[in-house]
Amino acid sequence: MPEPAAATDTEVSTEVPEGDLVRRAREGDLTAYDELVKRYQERIYATIYHMTSNHEDANDLAQDSFIKAFSALKSFKGGSSFYTWLYRIAVNKTINFLKQRKNKYHLSLNDLDFNAENDPDLVALISHKTPQREAGLSELQKKLNEALLKLSESHRMVVVLHDVQGQSHEDIAEIMGCNIGTVRSRLFYARQQLQGYLAEYVKPL
Amino acid sequence: MNESEQRFDDLRQLLKLKQHEIPPPGYFHGFSSQVISAIQEDLRVSSKPQNGSSPSWLSRFFASFDSRPGLVGGLATSMVLFLVLGIVLADHSDTEMAANYSVDANLQPSSPPLVSATLSAELSAPDQSAGGIAVSTNPPSSLPPDSSIFGQDNSLFQKASYAPVGAAGR
């Protein structure tokens, strides 16, 4: 059994084409799969984290998603990109997990990075609410996550993929297995709901 | 940007805060190695049965329930149905047997001539029973009530004396 190589992120993303890595991983090459994991780990983790608002759950689900993807790699026909296929596995796993957990949420939020305090858009949103900027950001982070958790799983997923991760409607439709019209309507409805939950921070419609 | 996007400008700016949420420092350094270790462990566990004997059909059958839990319900329902069907059929066949038995019982009056003929043959040749094999068509209920397994007399019964006086001396 081949041992995973200790390659860095930069080596991985610039040198080997994705299709080649997928073909090698499908043949059981764990070194190639290790490189694929490194390439997508941050995006997969972030998607799951934004859906669960819980670091520990996101860690477990992200790992499970990569493990599941490896075991299902033989069934990957290449009809879509590996990235989309992997996303679909992670999204389905997360939605199933959230449905099983129902409405029992436990927030375990990650820290905000240094740039959050200097983001002019965010500063403008909270500056008139509180004089203490950092406290304001933490409070805003909590309220934002709580508001997101009030949405249904499918609506939350669309908001996370589009407004947080910047995916296109087409990609979201492919990942979630629905048509673009459904994505648009879900996005509109979810934003309306969020606007209501976060009325003190955003202007009314 | 279309009108709908403009309506939610503030909200989209607010959602940008989510992009600043980051996991603990160094979290991703060990992530892929954890995934690969877990995969290696899975491969090691799954390759174990192949080294020895292949998993039995029963274990494969039960393992299939993991991916399709609905099968368990279906199997349980079909087993219950089979059980109920078996009970119903058993009751039905018992009723039929009872009906057949009563029909046989109604037909019995036609058979006594055979039994009486045998009895009369035995009575007419009593010496044959002393030696050789005696075949009787009498039902068990016709055994004399005073017989005992251990050869002791049953004091509750008294032998009726029906033999002719001359035969008692033999």
Task: Please tell me which residue, A17 or A127, carries the higher pLDDT value.
Answer: A17
Q: Can you give the pLDDT at residue B85?
A: 92
pLDDT interval class at A25 (50, 70, 90): very high
Write phi, then psi, for B155 (nearest 5 degrees): -70, -15
* CB atoms closer than 10 angstroms to residue A104: 7
Q: How many Å separate Cα A175 from the centre of its chain?
A: 12
Is the pLDDT at A61 greater than 90? The verdict is yes
Give contacts of B15 with chain A, Cβ < 8 Å: 144, 159, 163-164, 194
pLDDT interval class at A168 (50, 70, 90): very high
Percent of chain A with pLDDT over 70: 86
Span A164-184, mean pLDDT?
94
Is the pLDDT at A115 greater than 60? The verdict is yes
CATH number of A1-105: 1.10.1740.10
pLDDT tens sequence across B67-121: 566 777 888 899 999 999 999 988 887 777 777 666 555 555 544 544 444 445 4
* CB atoms closer than 10 angstroms to residue A192: 15
**DSSP-derived 3-state class of residue A119:** coil
pTM of the model: 0.62
CA pair distance A78, A40, nearest whole angstrom: 17
**DSSP-derived 3-state class of residue A3:** coil
Q: Can you give the pLDDT at residue B115?
A: 47
Which residues pair with residue A15 across a beta bridge? none
CA pair distance A163, A60, nearest whole angstrom: 24
Is A133 in contact with A140 (CB distance < 8 Å)?
A: no
Is the pLDDT at B147 greater than 70? The verdict is no
Q: Do A113 and B8 touch (CB under 8 A)?
A: no
Span A6-32, mean pLDDT?
75
Q: Which stretch of A8-17, A181-190, B124-133, B147-156 has the lowest confidence by average pLDDT?
A: B124-133
pLDDT interval class at A119 (50, 70, 90): confident
Element spanning B22, H or E = strand B21-22
For B14, the closest of A4, A59, A125 (CB atoms) is A125
Q: Can you give the pLDDT at residue B137?
A: 61
Q: Which residue has the tokens 């992997």?
A: A86
Is the pLDDT at B47 greater than 80? The verdict is no
Is the pLDDT at B135 greater than 60? The verdict is no
Based on DSSP, count helices (H) and strands (E) in chain B, helices before strands. Answer: 6, 1
Q: Does B85 touch chain A (CB under 8 A)?
A: no
Q: Can you give the pLDDT at residue A29?
A: 92
pLDDT interval class at A181 (50, 70, 90): very high
CATH number of A151-198: 1.10.10.10
State the best of A39, A43, A44, A63 to mutate against chain B, taking most chain B CBs within 10 Å: A63
Over the range A127-142, which residues count as b (16 or more CB within 10 Å of their CB) and which as e? eeeeeeeeebbeebbe
CA pair distance A7, A39, nearest whole angstrom: 11
Is the pLDDT at B138 greater than 90? The verdict is no
Is the pLDDT at B122 greater than 90? The verdict is no
Q: Can you give the pLDDT at residue A37?
A: 95
Q: Can you give the pLDDT at residue A122?
A: 75
pLDDT tens sequence across B18-36: 999 999 999 999 999 999 9
Chain A nearest-CA distance from B46, in A, is 11
Q: Can you give the pLDDT at residue A71?
A: 92
Is B32 in contact with A45 (CB distance < 8 Å)?
A: no
Span A176-195, mean pLDDT?
95
Nearest CA in chain B to A2: B40
For A67, the closest of B14, B20, B38 (CB atoms) is B38
Span A87-116, mean pLDDT?
86
Domain positions in chain A are: 1-105, 111-150, 151-198
Give me the amino acid identity at A193: Q
DSSP track, A86-115? HHHHHHHHHHHHHHHHTT----BPPEEPGG
**DSSP-derived 3-state class of residue B110:** helix
Rg (CA), chain A: 19
For B19, the closest of A70, A124, A164 (CB atoms) is A164
